[in-house]
Chains A and B, each alone.
Chain A
């Protein structure tokens, strides 16, 4: 996309050093690190990198979005970059990686960064709890602390390369990789003792057939992930994806009904759901 004249004319120093933006950056860092020295250092880190090399990052702006929203994405990235440099990225336990980003974020806040639990919950619940249900988050904290007794005792700078590898995005679940997930789901979601999943799940042919039968649109996948994996409220999903208020819940309902049908057809639903 061509850079528009108004994008080129954007007065980045004026915007970044405005009282409002300074307040926003401070608020972002304080939410991330609490009212700590880290929050102050992170604010400086963000400002320093925004104006680095004659506002190089900001000047990539082409006018596709509003300047202040673009600035928000840059600040969010920089705060995360600072946190990574400060605390490192210790490889999370495999079961946490499987549970998704809300669990990982909560784990990071309370176990690595040792943020007080109420602060971590407040942050993930969003202002006025519009993003997530705090009771669900409390339950997640209890699970994390129950399974990881060392949580909150380990911190410090750890180099990224030493401990963490991004999961391969091209990985597709096989019978082997699916089994730990199924065990985890039965234990955490269905609240039953771990047991080996039904033998039907062990069949590669069945998995291929299920995979071929599942028809989810990209938007449905995204909504399912946001709502059912990361616990984001449907109203917040509608807001952030700019969908009519009722649509995310409706799309998710349809998708779940479809998944249920497919699994039922292959006798893969838990026994008392049949």
Chain B
């Protein structure tokens, strides 16, 4: 055995053994049909049916094989996804993992308010934008310096924003500093955020994710910035104009830096 088996290989080894050992339970609900698979991709299943479909996928190799095939080619379908304008396309419900009611619902409602759609353009939610502009974000993150500054305590509202930036970076599997803010600071903010809000996504958190992606686009493909939805204004930061420019993004980023040093 090699002395240093990477954690990735260890993960693969352990996962394969656990999957081989697991017994197939009695599955709930009817086996998914083609439309269930499509609805899972579209995020249109209600939580109960979603859980049933996931359960079948986790235990039925033939079904998983079909799912695997769908994933392999999905980018082709999404890539050509701009012209069709079907009536059901707008009927996207809240994400299944966001429970109705409480603060989460309020955050979701605020988030919906961000969507200032431009006539003739397909709206890109933040998640869609992260998916679509993943190459730009990766390339941007690769260029960021790895600052090793020790983190300092921050106000909760700033922590929420930094946690959003950290999560945005994590979506690409790259953790780096951002606009002079060290990655340890971002990681600490993310940890505090999880303790305070758990899996909930607050408006400030999402604003942080927006700022990261916007800055990435301004540095790699500025003409694509207009495809992002404008976020809701938050206290302590200059209100954004209806049409956000890279200058506005820079202003917000600088404001964040200043808040950190105050």
The answer to whether residues A245 and B167 also contact, given A172-B24, A189-B13, A228-B15 and a CB cut-off of 8 A, is yes
Residue of B nearest to A185 (CB): B13
Check A28 for interface membership: any CB of B closer than 8 A: yes
A199 within 8 A of B: no
CB under 8 Å from chain A, chain B span 8-61: 9-24, 33-45, 51, 54-55, 57-61
Which of B21, B66, B134, B170 sits near A130, CB closer than 8 Å? Answer: B134
Instruction: Flag whether A76 is at the interface (Cβ < 8 A).
Output: yes
The number of chain B residues touching the other chain, given as a range, is: 35 or more
Question: Which one of A34-42, A111-119, A143-151, A218-226 is at the B interface?
Answer: A218-226
Min CB distance B202 to A, Å, is 13
Q: A128 vs B138: C-alpha distance in the bound complex, in angstroms?
A: 11
Give the docked Cα–Cα distance between A247 and B65 (Å): 23
Q: Is A161 an interface residue (CB 8 A)?
A: no
Docked pose: A127 CA to B75 CA in angstroms: 6
CB interface residues, A 61-92, toward B, < 8 Å: 61-70, 72-74, 76-77, 80
B165 neighbours in A (Cβ, 8 Å): none
The interface stretch among A48-56, A152-160, A251-259 is: A251-259
Q: How far, in Å, is A240 (CB) from chain B's closest CB? A: 6
Which residues on the B side are within 8 Å of A228 (C-beta)?
11-12, 14-16
B96 at the interface (CB under 8 A from A): yes
Q: Give the dominant DSSP class at A's interface.
A: helix
Instruction: Tally A residues with Cβ within 8 Å of B.
Output: 101
Chain-A contact segment, one of B79-87, B116-124, B221-229: B79-87
- Decide if B134 touches A128 in the complex (CB within 8 Å): yes
Contacts of A207 in B (CB 8 A): 21
Chain A residue contacts of B172, Cβ below 8 A: 235
Q: Does A23 contact B (CB under 8 A)?
A: yes
B262 on interface, CB distance cutoff 8 Å: no
The reply to whether the CB of A167 lies closer than 8 angstroms to some CB of chain B is yes
A28 to B78, CA, bound (A): 12
- Whole-angstrom CA separation of A181 from B100 in the bound complex: 45
Nearest-CB distance from A264 to chain B (Å)? 10
Taking the closest CB of chain B, its distance from the CB of A239, in whole angstroms, is 5
State whether A27 touches B17 (Cβ < 8 A). Answer: no
Question: Is A265's beta carbon under 8 Å from chain B?
Answer: no
Decide if B21 touches A64 in the complex (CB within 8 Å). no
Which chain A residues have a beta carbon within 8 Å of chain B's beta carbons? 6-7, 10, 15, 18-21, 23-24, 27-28, 31-32, 60-70, 72-74, 76-77, 80, 98, 100-102, 105, 123-124, 126-128, 130-131, 166-167, 169-170, 172-173, 177-178, 181-182, 185-186, 189-192, 207, 210-211, 214, 216, 218-219, 221-222, 224-230, 232-236, 238-247, 249, 252, 255-256, 259-260, 263, 270-273
A-B contact pairs, 22 of them (CB 8 A): A6-B87, A18-B83, A60-B33, A61-B35, A62-B35, A64-B44, A68-B86, A68-B89, A72-B38, A76-B66, A100-B16, A123-B72, A131-B75, A166-B62, A218-B51, A219-B54, A227-B11, A240-B41, A241-B54, A244-B201, A256-B14, A263-B14
The 10 closest A-B pairs by CB, nearest first: A65-B38, A245-B171, A228-B15, A65-B39, A69-B38, A242-B43, A221-B58, A127-B75, A224-B15, A218-B58
List 6 additional contacts besides A15-B86, A218-B54; criterion CB under 8 Å.
Answer: A7-B88, A15-B84, A23-B80, A72-B41, A181-B17, A242-B43
